[in-house]
Amino acid sequence: MTCQEARALLEQSSVEGALPAELTSHLEACAACREEQRRSVEILRQLHAARESLDDLRPRFEETSARAFRRAMTGGLPAVGSSWTRVRAAASLLIIALPVFWFLFTRALPPTPGGSRPQEDRVRKLIELLKDPAPEVRARAQDDLLDVGPSAGPVVKSALAGTSDLEVRSRLSQIAAVYRCQEVLGNDGGRRFGMAGGPVEKLRRLVEFLEGHSPRQLKDRDKEVLTEELHRGATREDQLRLIELYATPRDKGAPWGDEAVAREYAWVLPPLLGHPDSEVVLRGVVALARLGGLPAIPSDASRPALSARIADLLDSKNRTLRLSALEALGRHLKAEAEAPRIAPILEDPDPELRKAALAALGRLNAKRFSVDVARRLKDPDPAVRIAAVDVLRDWRAKEFIEAVAALLDTPGVEVRAHALTALGELDARAYAPQMAQALSEKSAPVELRVGALKGLRGLRAVEYIPDVVAQLQAPEGFVRALAVDVLGAFGARDRVGLVEDRLRDPDAMVRVFSAQTLAVLGVPGSKTALERALGTEQDPEARVAILEALRSFGK
Amino acid sequence: MEPIRGVREEFGDLAGRFGAELVQYAFTRGISFHDAQDIVQRTFLKAWDVFQSGARPENPRAWLYRIVLHEASNERRASNTRRRARSILAGRDSSPPAEPAVTEEFRRTLDAVQALPPPYSESIALHYLQGLSIEETAAVLEIPSGTAKSQIARGLTLLRSKLHPLQGEEKSP
């Protein structure tokens, strides 16, 4: 055994534990490899010791985990009681500390004549020190500038405009940002929220600040202050603007960072749900839903009240608000109790609203309004008819089979296609011949063929396998893929050869469906076809599908 | 629809079972205690979303680890921003949890593991520091067990030259 082989074995055995016999004898003979083994053992000892140290820290990990869990499940909303206690304590401390601090600060200044000049001169000197060759001096100067506070802002800004040194610019712009942050969040004078101006002005400046900075720069205390500010009479426009900021990820043009960051800060929204303006409430709900923060709202007590307030907006004259309210009630709040207020909108003159009302009732599973929904099968707008068909299909409302079937004689291709699919899902076997006919007509539009294939799949109408097989030659890839899928759903093991042939289809999607269908059919002979296909397949998704299919065959 | 209270309890059990080791994992990946809490909080939020939708991961432990792994790598990417943020808010931070006192050897070992190239570093941390088996490590990293084993072996070799270099042996980066 060479040393190289021994070290490879040593590497392997360090994970597996046991030393192979041939390695043991080599180690006895070779001092260099023995040294290598000693180092290996030492590393394992160190890792073991590290593990023990981590075990010692276990209570800290548990405590941190519990805190993270609490915050996650409450949307990160700070506890108001503790916030107040801390703010009061901080205020008291500041009242005591401020005169002392001011005394020390003024004594530290050089005795230069000229009113506010001493501080200005000191600031300029500190800015000069930002160019010092010693990094610790530069860092200290930055800290000292931060201690001076926002009153040094004008000097810092003018220095920033006058320097081209990259490091100095970077430090100065950081300092300027701190000053703005301190101004906005009130850390500059010992008063509770510090800065001059009313809450509206504060919020406006806050929003401007947020637009220019990552929310990661905010800490718990800032969150508490912000939440408080949102409660205190900010203008409605500013609140809506802030909600948009939180709810819009960067790809939609907001400067807010990615969605994950926005989600982290969804804590600011729940307080808005108690806002007197229902539109603010609605936007808050939609934004929270988008950020995944809705679980923070208790489902038992708060949601019905919230839903009722949003349902008030269904009577609004603003169409966008009404559409948004329908979506919030149906999708986000699952407000079953509000279904009676949604149902009358099925008669609204606006087809978009009728469609949205159908979708909301469908999501709420409000089957007691199925007659009203079925009435919309005769709606003049085809999109509304389609929405009604889809709702009845999802509800498995077999009592409306005839009404749905009547749509097969109407002119709209898409409506007919949805009707065919729905009839399949409603188990209306009497209409299987019409589905097969839609497949056999050479001039049948693609939508109709897709609807018919789905309908036959719903019926599991295996007697129409030949019609489905014919669609394996359809010019459209997605129709061929659907036909393959239907054969799988039928369990058509005797057509497995045709599915195997589709592993060579020019369309990768068809090849993916074929591999999946072969796994479903589970005919042992397909394994060879799959292995052969794997040898030539280039498309990554198709390769994954083939590998998964092979795995299902026990490879 | 599943009653929300039942789901919450189920999720609470899961968080209680694995939460501490997830914080520990974030910590071993070089994340401070304070940020580890944020990471695990985000992990819980994501996991809760999934739970609410009714889906249940096949291997919840590996799944949670993967979320932490992803969040920790995002965290490291954002570390420059955070450092700036910290300096921006210097002196005003409410009370970040104090970092625990650890021995010099522990810190050195942890630093060395973190400094390994990512696949080796992750495998070593999961297997030796988190105490996951080879199979569990492979499940978290979504790699075959054999690959996990060879990554661990290679990682140990790299760690050896980093922590106990032979004379003349180049320290790995």
A227 in contact with B at a CB cutoff of 8 Å? no
Angle at A284 between CA A280 and CA A285, to 5 degrees: 120
A4 in contact with B at a CB cutoff of 8 Å? no
pLDDT (0 to 100) of residue A256: 39
**Position A29 in a domain:** yes
Residues A102 and A125 in one domain: no
Q: What percent of chain A has pLDDT over 70?
A: 70
pLDDT (0 to 100) of residue A28: 79
**Position A520 in a domain:** yes
* Number of domains into which chain A is organized: 3
Tokens of A521: 């059919």
pLDDT (0 to 100) of residue A333: 82
- List of residues 6+ apart from A546 with CB closer than 8 A: A503, A511, A515, A530, A533, A534, A537
- List of residues 6+ apart from A82 with CB closer than 8 A: none
Residues A43 and A101 in one domain: yes
A37 in contact with B at a CB cutoff of 8 Å? no
B153 in contact with A at a CB cutoff of 8 Å? yes
pLDDT (0 to 100) of residue A157: 83
More confident residue, A24 or B141: B141
pLDDT (0 to 100) of residue A200: 47
pLDDT (0 to 100) of residue A366: 94
**Count of other CB atoms within 10 angstroms of residue A308:** 15
Residues A489 and A548 in one domain: yes
Tokens of A514: 């074929």
pLDDT bracket for residue A182 (50, 70, 90): low
pLDDT (0 to 100) of residue B171: 42
Amino acid present at A238: D
Buried b (16+ CB within 10 A) or exposed e, B114-153: bebeebbbbbbbbbbbbebebebbbbbbebeeeebbbbbb
- CA B32, B35, B39, B41 dihedral sign is positive
Cα–Cα distance, A186 to A198 (Å, whole number): 12
**Position A296 in a domain:** no
**Position A180 in a domain:** yes
Cα–Cα distance, A379 to A392 (Å, whole number): 14
A-chain residue closest to B13, CA distance: A69
A71 in contact with B at a CB cutoff of 8 Å? yes
Burial of B97 (0-12, 13-18, 19+ CB in 10 A): middle
More confident residue, A514 or A26: A514
Coil/strand/helix, residue A365: coil
pLDDT (0 to 100) of residue B27: 87
Residues A96 and A135 in one domain: no
Q: What is the pLDDT of residues A217-244, one digit of tens each?
A: 455 555 555 555 555 545 666 667 666 6
Phi, psi values for residue B89, rounded to 5°: -100, 15
Nearest to A217 among B21, B22, B85 (CB): B85
DSSP string, A431-455: GHHHHHHHHH-TT--HHHHHHHHHH
Query: Tell me, what CATH number does A551's domain have?
Result: 1.25.10.10
**Position A80 in a domain:** yes
Please list the alpha-helical segments (H only) found in A109-198: 117-129, 135-148, 153-162, 166-185
Tokens of A249: 């990820």
Residues A294/A267, Cβ–Cβ less than 8 Å: no
Please determine, for residue A101, whether its predicted confidence score (pLDDT) is greater than 60. no
Q: Taking residues A133-145, what's their average pLDDT?
A: 78
pLDDT bracket for residue A110 (50, 70, 90): very low
Residues A490 and A513 in one domain: yes
Residues A103 and A14 in one domain: yes
Q: Taking residues A339-355, what's their average pLDDT?
A: 95
Q: Which residues in chain B are contacts of A334 at CB distance < 8 A?
A: 1
Residues A73 and A149 in one domain: no
Last residue of a domain, one of A108, A132, A150: A108
Domain residues for the domain of A172 are 120-187
Q: What is the pLDDT of residues A187-221, one digit of tens each?
A: 432 233 333 344 445 555 555 555 555 444 455 55
Residues A102 and A124 in one domain: no
**Position A519 in a domain:** yes
**Position A17 in a domain:** yes
Q: What is the pLDDT of residues A293-303, one digit of tens each?
A: 555 555 555 77
Low-confidence stretches of chain B (pLDDT < 70) are 1-6, 75-101, 165-173
Residues A71 and A131 in one domain: no
Interface of B with A in 24-43 (CB under 8 A): 24, 27-28, 33, 36-38, 40-43
CA dihedral (A356, A362, A368, A369) in degrees, to 10, reads 30
HSE toward the beta carbon, residue A13, CA cutoff 13 A: 17
- List of residues 6+ apart from B140 with CB closer than 8 A: B62, B65, B66, B69, B126, B132
- Report how many Cβ contacts below 8 Å link chain A to chain B: 176
pLDDT (0 to 100) of residue A251: 43
Q: What is the pLDDT of residues A36-91, one digit of tens each?
A: 778 888 888 888 888 888 888 888 888 888 878 877 765 433 333 334 334 444 45
Tokens 């947020």 appear where? A210
ipTM of the shown complex: 0.84
**Position A289 in a domain:** no
